[in-house]
Chain A
Amino acid sequence: MGTGSGRLYAAVAAGGFRRYATYRAATAAGVFTNTVFGLILVYTYLALWDERPQLGGYDQAQAVTFVWLGQALLAALAIGGGGFEDELMERIRTGDVAVDLYRPADLQLWWLAADVGRALFQLLGRGVVPFVFGSLFFPVALPREVSVWAAFLVTLLLAMLVGFALRYLVALSAFWLLDGTGVTQMAWLAGLFCSGMLLPLNVFPGVLGEVVRALPWSSLLQAPADVLLGEADPLGTFAFQASWAVALLALGRLVQSAATRRVVVQGG
């Protein structure tokens, strides 16, 4: 890994960013969808927190902030699908992955770079508008300290890594399953529920809560949200996310080498 490969993966990330930037109508439609989803969830949460103030340790403003943060990150972290994984699975199914494999580049780093590029675009293109909209029209709890915002950005970056690592494993399953629809849907469900996209994870009581908060998906939304809302210690959160990122990326490498060594590349 020299500066040469650094420049390559930077170019891949830039390409990932621009690929999504070319589809403006899709971006506009996405912004609209996220805003509408946000509105539905906000009114549901407001009703819920009206009945149970301080549910999960959040006050009403924090709960509302959580909703808009979730909508801002939904596309960027591809929690409900829509990341690189659909494309990679299709390439594995059709055998186009052969093209990726003979290149002098690392498969995992290549797709990581492409997905980070995509995530950055969707954070800016699809995330900012719903978040600003929510902050303007609803009572939100945003920090004033620059250091908290900085810590939040670090958690976002780590969330991107964990999100990628999870979806990379999902995508590689196509080497064995060929039709990855079932796995994708399971990953999508697990992502929505276990990240806190439906309800903040600190709302869940007892063992279920403990388990869900320890799973990697909580790195995606719950962890950045708690840092932004001042509910979690940033360093502990970084460590939690980084551990999952390292473990899952390493597992991805292991599966990758097994896949490329033992499995036939499709298409003759």
Chain B
Amino acid sequence: MTDTAGTSETADRAEPGAGAEASAAVDAVAAFIELDGVEKVFDVRKKTGFLKRERRRVRAVDGLSFTVSRGEMVGYIGPNGAGKSTTIKMLTGILTPSGGRLRVAGIDPSRERTRLAHRIGVVFGQRTTLWWDLPLIDSYRLMHRMYRIPDARYRENLDRCVELLQLRDLLDVPVRQLSLGQRMRGDIAAALLHDPEVLYLDEPTIGLDVVSKAKVRGFLRDLNAERGTTVLLTTHDLQDIEQLCSRVMVIDHGRLMYDGPLAGLHEAGESERTLVVDLERELPPIEAPEPARVVRVEGPRQWLAFPASASAAGLVARIAAEYPLVDLSVREPDIESVIAKMYAERAGA
């Protein structure tokens, strides 16, 4: 049975030794990650007096439905406490949904957590899977055993990650001595040694400097392009999404608020970027071309708001030509403000 199913598959996928995997994948091709009315309810006990406890039900995830196809790279965003991490934990099988249907690669995560674990990779940005006291390479050797990676495959994947994530000089360094950016790259490599079909990334660039962020993003982009790894990315950094994801899902209060391209999100939220300019001296507000406008003046420094969908280049050129410009910077809208605007829109409509 595996053979017949495998032949038609291997013809166009050209992935050797995919036998049983491929046959399972046939069903999952359309929707690799599938959520249908998924709920997660927590009972929270609150102290209301001496010995008195009040039980409160919290719906962390409330009727969530979406699908992600194989090879997609999707941004999953929302404010703190929106239910992002709860979703990720249900997708790994750590948490069991209170209701609804959830499948990853055709597997019910909480029922077959261990079987699923071999096919997924997880990076929690604020946590580490690496062995704190031991050299980085020791954690990788452990992954080799844990995921039963064939020796040749392990060496090949390790070499590739070491090369692309620039880990060569770090392999013999104890993890506790790594910088945050180095550790994050180390963690990403650890999540990929077993060739996961899907990678969940929970805040992979949190706390990283610009250079480290660029390295991580570049690596993820290549991974998705070359290996077709499906990526679900949770972040607070809109630039992560802008540079990596063609599709973004916004969740708040456990519900899906938006699902579509990032540009559409900006439209839906009418989000604005801010151009901060430092002039040589104190001047009256800059007369900027529509729709940009000055929102704040403080001595020689002025703040201009303009639509996130518009390019900053024209605006910058115009100001540079007409005003004594010393310095400038562009601030991206943060997710909270985009979502806040989205709410305002809906309330107004």
Residues on B with C-beta less than 8 A from A47 are none
Interface membership of chain A positions 7-45, coded 1 if the CB is closer than 8 angstroms to chain B and 0 otherwise: 110011001001100110000000000000000000000
Q: List the count of A-B residue pairs having beta carbons below 8 Å apart.
A: 69
B112 CB → nearest A CB, Å: 11
**Is B145 in contact with A7, judged by CB distance below 8 angstroms?**
yes
CA distance A265 to B110 in the complex (A): 14
A251 within 8 A of B: no
Residues on B with C-beta less than 8 A from A99 are 122, 124, 127-129
**Residue of A at shortest CB range from B174?**
A22
Residues on A with C-beta less than 8 A from B182 are none
**Is B89 in contact with A98, judged by CB distance below 8 angstroms?**
yes
Given contacts A101-B94, A105-B146, whether A19 and B133 have CB atoms under 8 Å apart is yes
CA distance A102 to B124 in the complex (A): 11
Select which of B113, B126, B131, B146 is within 8 A of A8 by beta carbon.
Answer: B146
**Residue of A at shortest CB range from B82?**
A268
CA distance A98 to B80 in the complex (A): 18
**Is A15 in contact with B131, judged by CB distance below 8 angstroms?**
yes
**Is A22 in contact with B81, judged by CB distance below 8 angstroms?**
no
Interface membership of chain B positions 89-125, coded 1 if the CB is closer than 8 angstroms to chain A and 0 otherwise: 1001111100000000000000001110110101010
CA distance A201 to B85 in the complex (A): 50
A142 within 8 A of B: no
A42 CB → nearest B CB, Å: 34
**Is B93 in contact with A102, judged by CB distance below 8 angstroms?**
yes
**Residues of chain A at interface, number, CB under 8 A:** 26
CA distance A19 to B141 in the complex (A): 15
A144 within 8 A of B: no
Interface membership of chain A positions 122-166, coded 1 if the CB is closer than 8 angstroms to chain B and 0 otherwise: 000000000000000000000000000000000000000000000
Residues on A with C-beta less than 8 A from B93 are 102
CA distance A104 to B127 in the complex (A): 18
B195 within 8 A of A: no
CA distance A261 to B129 in the complex (A): 22
Select which of A94, A102, A267 is within 8 A of B122 by beta carbon.
Answer: A102
Select which of A7, A11, A23, A102 is within 8 A of B94 by beta carbon.
Answer: A102
**Is B95 in contact with A265, judged by CB distance below 8 angstroms?**
yes
B42 within 8 A of A: yes
Select which of A4, A11, A94, A261 is within 8 A of B141 by beta carbon.
Answer: A11
**Is A18 in contact with B138, judged by CB distance below 8 angstroms?**
yes
**Is B134 in contact with A22, judged by CB distance below 8 angstroms?**
yes
Select which of B80, B96, B120, B138 is within 8 A of A268 by beta carbon.
Answer: B80
A95 within 8 A of B: yes
Interface membership of chain A positions 43-71, coded 1 if the CB is closer than 8 angstroms to chain B and 0 otherwise: 00000000000000000000000000000
Residues on A with C-beta less than 8 A from B126 are 267
A264 within 8 A of B: yes
B155 within 8 A of A: no
B142 within 8 A of A: yes
Residues on B with C-beta less than 8 A from A268 are 80-81, 85-86
A96 within 8 A of B: yes
Residues on B with C-beta less than 8 A from A261 are 96
Residues on A with C-beta less than 8 A from B92 are 101-102
CA distance A99 to B142 in the complex (A): 14
**Is A19 in contact with B129, judged by CB distance below 8 angstroms?**
no
B349 CB → nearest A CB, Å: 31
**Is A15 in contact with B138, judged by CB distance below 8 angstroms?**
yes
A122 CB → nearest B CB, Å: 15
Select which of B113, B127, B134, B141 is within 8 A of A98 by beta carbon.
Answer: B127
Residues on A with C-beta less than 8 A from B141 are 11
Residues on A with C-beta less than 8 A from B343 are none
A108 CB → nearest B CB, Å: 14
Given contacts A11-B141, A12-B142, whether A95 and B127 have CB atoms under 8 Å apart is yes
Residues on B with C-beta less than 8 A from A23 are 133
Residues on A with C-beta less than 8 A from B113 are 101-102
B199 CB → nearest A CB, Å: 13
Which of B118, B120, B124 has the largest count of A CB atoms less than 10 A from its CB? Answer: B124
Provide a sorted-by-A list of 9 A–B residue pairs whose CB atoms are within 8 angstroms.
A11-B145, A15-B131, A19-B133, A19-B134, A95-B127, A98-B94, A99-B124, A99-B127, A268-B80
12 further A-B contacts with Cβ under 8 Å, apart from A101-B113, A104-B115, A268-B81, are A11-B145, A15-B134, A15-B138, A22-B133, A98-B124, A99-B124, A99-B129, A102-B92, A103-B146, A104-B117, A104-B147, A268-B85
The 6 closest A-B pairs by CB, nearest first: A104-B117, A102-B92, A8-B145, A19-B133, A268-B85, A11-B145
